[in-house]
Amino acid sequence: MGSFGMLARRVVETEMPVIVQIQQLIRGAKNAVSLAQGVVHWKPPEQALDKVKKLVEEPSVSCYGADEGLPELREALTRKLRQENNLNKSSVMVTAGANQAFVNLVLTLCDAGDSVVMFAPYYFNAYMSFQMTGVTKILVGPSNPETLYPDADWLEKTLLETNPVPKLVSVVNPGNPSGTYIPEPLLKRISDICKNAGCRLFVDNTYEYFMYDGLEHSCLEGDHIVNIFSFSKAYGMASWICNLFSALNMILYGLMQIAYPTEVEGLATQLLKVQDNIPICASLISQRLALHSLEVGPEWVQERVKDLVKNREIVIEALSPLGEGSVQGGEGAIYLWATLPGKYTDDFKVVHWLAHRHGVVMIPGSACGCPGHLRVSFGGLMENDCRAAADRLKRGLEELVKHGLVQ
Ligand SMILES: Cc1ncc(COP(=O)(O)O)c(C=O)c1O
C-alpha cells in the first residue's frame, strides 16, 4: 500500500469523487462550459434572502441550535410533508445536505460487512458513502434497459437469496443520473419486497419538484422507509453548503408504527449521536433561509422547473448524432442519460476529448456503474447559455460519430 499505509483502507478504497475530477478537467480545459454538475441556475427566493440579511447581526444565529433542527423549521416541514407528500407519521431531522443525511443514516443503520442494494446507473455519492463507511458488499442491480426503472424481479430474487438479508435498498426518485422517475406502483412493489424481506428502503427525493410532461412524484411511508429531501436544487441553496452555511435537508423516520416500534424509536436516538459528531446542527442562518423559502412556497420552484423543459429539448437535440434510442431518462430531475457508440466503453476518455477539443463537459457513466454512457445535466445554465453549450456538444458528437477521437 506504500504511502497509503498511514491512511484508512476504507477511504483509500473509496472511489475518487467524479465531481472533483470533473472540476479539475474544467479548470484545465480552455473556456469549457459545464453540462456536468447537478446544479440549478437560480438562487434562493429574493424575499427569503432579504429576511435572512436582516438576521446576520443577530447573536442567536451564531450559536448552536438543536441537533435535530430549528423547531419552527421542523414544524413547517412536517406540515409540508403532510400537505404535499402525504407523509403523516414521519418525523423530521435537518442535516447539512442530503449527502450528509445519507451518511448519517448509513453510519446509524449499517455495520462494516453488511450488504446493501443499489441499481445501476446509481448516484455516485451514495455508492461512495457506503464504501467509506466500510459497507463494501454493494449489490448493484440492473435497471430495465428500455425504461431504466429499477428491476423489481431481480430485487425480489436477490433479497430472498442473500443471507444475511441486505440492510437496505437505496433508490433515487426521480433519478440521478438518469432523470428517470419511479412510478408509484413500482415504488410500492419495491417497498413491499423490502418490507417482506425485513430490509429498509431509502428513497432520495432530492428532485421531488423536478417532474415533467404531467408526471407526478409520490412518496411512501412505513416503518422500513426513510425519505430524504433537499433544499439544494429546489430553492437554489446548493452553494450554501460550500459557503460557510449548509443547505438544509431532512431525513424522516416513521415513529409510531407497530412493526418495529422500539427499533424505530431507537433510530431517532441513534441518529442524534452521528449528527452531534458531524455538524452538531445545520447552520442556523441556512435553516432560517430554508424556513423563509418554504413560506414562499412550491409554486416558486415549479415556475422555475417549468422553464427547464426548454433546456431539456435543446440538450436532447444536441445528443441526436448518437442515433435513435441512445437518449433515455429525463422525465424528471435535471439529467439525460446517453449511450455512446459501442466501442467507447472508456467514457472518461470521451469526456476528456469533448472538454479539450469541443469545450463542453459531462459526467462519464462509468462513475455511475455504467461505462459507455454520459450523464448530461440541463439544470445549471440559463436557456441561451444552455444553447451555446449544446451547440458545442452537438458538434463534438457529430465528429465523434463520423471520425472518432481525432486530435
Ligand atoms: C440524488 C441526490 N441526492 C443528494 C444530493 C446532494 O444534495 P445536498 O446538496 O442536499 O447534499 C444530490 C446532488 O446532486 C443528488 O443528486
List, for residues 350-372, the tens digit of each pLDDT value.
Answer: 999 999 999 999 999 999 999 99
For 42, the 3-state DSSP assignment is: coil
Cell numbers of 172, please? Answer: 433515487
Starting at the edge strand found earlier in the chain, the sheet holding 115-119 runs 90-95, 249-254, 225-230, 200-204, 168-172, 115-119, 137-141
Ligand 1 atom nearest to CA at 100: 11
Q: How confident is the model at residue 214 (pLDDT cuts 50, 70, 90)?
A: very high
Q: How confident is the model at residue 250 (pLDDT cuts 50, 70, 90)?
A: low
Tell me how far the alpha carbon of residue 90 lies from the centroid of ligand 1, in angstroms.
21
Q: Which of 2-16, 145-159, 207-221, 316-330 is least confident?
A: 2-16
Ligand 1 pocket residue status of 238, Cβ below 6 Å: yes
List, for residues 371-392, the tens digit of each pLDDT value.
Answer: 999 999 999 999 999 999 999 9
Ligand 1 pocket residue status of 124, Cβ below 6 Å: no
Q: Name 229's bridge partners.
A: 250
Nearest CA to ligand 1 atom 13: 38
3-state DSSP helix/strand/coil % of the chain, to nearest 5: 45, 15, 40
Tell me how far the alpha carbon of residue 163 lies from the centroid of ligand 1, in angstroms.
31
Tell me how far the alpha carbon of residue 209 lies from the centroid of ligand 1, in angstroms.
14
Tell me how far the alpha carbon of residue 398 lies from the centroid of ligand 1, in angstroms.
32
Ligand 1 pocket residue status of 230, Cβ below 6 Å: yes
Ligand 1 pocket residue status of 91, Cβ below 6 Å: no
Ligand 1 pocket residue status of 123, Cβ below 6 Å: yes
Tell me how far the alpha carbon of residue 123 lies from the centroid of ligand 1, in angstroms.
9
Nearest CA to ligand 1 atom 7: 98
Of all residues in the chain, what percent carry a pLDDT higher than 70? 93
Gap between the Cα atoms of 262 and 87, Å rounded: 20
Ligand 1 pocket residue status of 101, Cβ below 6 Å: no
Q: How confident is the model at residue 89 (pLDDT cuts 50, 70, 90)?
A: confident
pLDDT given at position 248: 55
